Structure formats: C-alpha cells, structure tokens
Structure 1
Amino acid sequence: MDDSVDRHIARWRGKAPFDERVEAIVTRMQFLVKHLAQAKDTALAAVGLQDFEYETLHWLGARGEAGRATPTELAAELRVSPAGMTGRLDTLEKAGLVRRIRSEEDRRRVDVELTSEGRALWLRAMDLRGEVEDEMVGVLPPDDQDALAALLKRMLLHVEHPGRS
C-alpha cells in the first residue's frame, strides 16, 4: 500500500535529481514530526494552554517535584528575553499556574514554581501528547522500536557531533 511519501516520490521522479531512499526517509520523518506538532497543538487546545504557556510549565515540570527555577534560568532555557519571560510569568501567575516566591537560599532572589493547578494542567497535556506518541510508535513491535531508536540516535549523534564516528 502506498503512503503520501510514495506518491510524493513518484510525482518528482525524473523531474529533479534526488536519492529516492534518502528522500523517502527524510520526508517520512518530516511528516511524522508534523503529525506530532499537530497532536501537540490539539492537546494544548484541549486543556486551554497556549504553546508558550505549555513550554514554560514543561521546563518547570522537568525540575522535579518542586518545579522551581529563577526567571533568568527559564529565560535562558526557553531562549526568551528577560522582558518576554516576565510577560509569560505574569500571564501564568494570573492564571494560577505558577507563583513567584522568595528564594529559600537568597531572600533577594525570586523563584518561580509550579502550582498544583499548573502541574495538573501540564500533566494532562503531557498525557494527551503521550497517547498520540504511543499510538504512532505502537504500530512497531518492541524490537523494531529499539532498532528505530538506535538508528535515529546514530543519525542524531552524527549531526550533533560532525566528524566523529
């Protein structure tokens, strides 16, 4: 059975120079990434979050149970200006998803932490995204999943560390 990439390759065959195997691999990866991005958008809409809100909650959630970071740390991790981060945090704080608190180590410093509401909303979005990811990868048996993960890792290592074997 043909998929959309088979049709794409057939449409371009003889019209442009390309390696069909490479085109098939890269285009399928692009289409799968697009599918995951759409699933993320759907999950965020279902829980009422915007992408910037989710990303901020996600970084805080990755910091463990306390879910704390300084605004400067968040801005650096999310590659946002300090002013942009302040705006994000104002929005999230007004929604009750984060709170600003004085640091326990240094009273001059402010930390941002997830509220229980923020954590619950973030986890709900994660569950919805995870369902789509599990369904997509679940068509492969575990051995194939392991093989695919290993192959993708080799490709990523090559891109992240050019010139190394």
Structure 2
Amino acid sequence: MDDSVDRHIARWRGKAPFDDRVEAVVTRMQFLVKHVSQAKDAALAAVGLQDFEFETLHRLSSRGEGGRMTPSELAAELKLSPAGMTGRLDTLEKAGLVRRARDAEDRRRVDVELTEQGRASWLKAMGLRGEVEADMVGVLGQEDQETLAALLKRLLLHVENQDHPQK
C-alpha cells in the first residue's frame, strides 16, 4: 500500500536530483515530526496553554515536584533575554501557573516555582501528547521500536558529531 511519501517520490522522480531511499527516509521523518507537532498544538489548545507557557512549565517540571529555577536559569534554557523572561513570567504568574518566591537562605535570590495549577496543566498536556505519540509508535512491536530508536540514534549522533556548526 502506498503512503503520501511514495506518491511524493513518484511525482518528483526524474524531475529533481535525489536518491529515492534517502528521500523516503527524510520525508517520512519530516511528516512524522509534523504530526507530532500538530498533536502538541492540539494538546496545548485543549488545556488552554500557549506554546511559550508550556515550554516554561516543561523546564520547571524537569526540576522535580517543586519545579524551582531562577529566572536567569530559565532564560538560559529557553534562550531568552532577561527582559523576555520577565514578560513571560509576568504572564504565567498572572495566570496562576507559576509564582516567584524569595530563597529562604539568600533573600536576594528569587526562584520561580510551579504552582499546583501549573503542574496540573503541564501534566494534562503531556498526557494528551503522550497518547498521540504512543498511538503512532504503537503500530510497531517492542523489538521494532527498539530497532527504530537505535537507528534514529545513529543518525542523530552522526549529525551531532559533524565538524560543521548546526543551523
């Protein structure tokens, strides 16, 4: 049975210089990434989060139950300017998803922490995303999933270890 990539390759064969196998692999990866991205967007919409809100909650959640980081740590991880981070935190704080708290030992230090509402929103979005991802990968048996994961890792390691800078 043909998929959309088979039809794409047939349409372009002889019109553009590419290797059919390479084109099939890369285009299928692109289509799958697009599917995952659309699922993420739908999950965020269902929970009422914007992407920037989710990404900030996601970083905080990586720090465990309390989810505490300094604004500068968050800005560095999210590749934002301090002013951009301040605006983002203001929005998240007004929405009740995070709070700023002074460090108990060093009153000059301010930490950002997840609220219960912020953690619940993040967990709900992650659950919705996870269902779509599990459904997509679940068509493969466990052994095939492990093989695919290993093959993709080889590709990623190759790209990550190249001498030229990534764009």
Normalised TM-score (structure 1): 0.97
In the alignment, which residue of structure 2 is the partner of 1:78? 78
Q: Cα distance, 1:42 vs. partner?
A: 0.2
What is the rounded CA distance, in whole Å, between the counterparts of 1:103 and 1:50 in structure 2? 28
**DSSP-derived class of the 2:112 partner:** strand
The number of residue pairs the alignment matches comes to 163
Aligned-residue offset at 1:16 = 1.0
Q: CA deviation at 1:129?
A: 0.2
Q: Residues of 1 paired with 2:115 and 2:134: CA distance?
A: 28
Q: Which residue of 2 aligns with 1:162?
A: 162
Partner residue, 2:149: 149
Q: For 2:34 and 2:95, how far apart are their aligned partners in 1? A: 29
What are the equivalent positions in structure 2 for 1:105-120 lying under 5 Å apart?
105-120=105-120
> Which residue of the partner structure matches residue 38 of structure 1?
38
Q: CA–CA distance in 1 between the matches of 2:6 and 2:104? A: 58
For 1:105 and 1:22, the matched residues in 2 are separated by 56
3-state DSSP of counterpart to 1:106: coil
How far does residue 106 in structure 1 lie from its aligned partner after superposition?
A: 1.7
**What percent identity do the matched residue pairs reach?**
80
Which SS does the other structure have where 1:162 is aligned?
Answer: coil
> How large is the RMSD of aligned CA atoms in angstroms?
0.8
Which 5+ residue runs of structure 1 have no aligned equivalent? none
CA distance in 2, matches of 1:119, 1:37: 21
Q: How far apart, CA to CA, are the structure 1 residues paired with 2:3 and 2:106?
A: 58
Give TM-score scaled by structure 2 length: 0.96
Displacement, 1:117? 0.5
Runs of 4+ in 1 over 4 A off after TM superposition: none
Partner of 1:62 in structure 2?
A: 62
Whole-Å separation in 2 of the counterparts to 1:148 and 1:83: 41
Q: How far apart, in 1, do the equivalents of 2:138 and 2:38 lie?
A: 18
**5+ long unaligned stretches in structure 2:** none
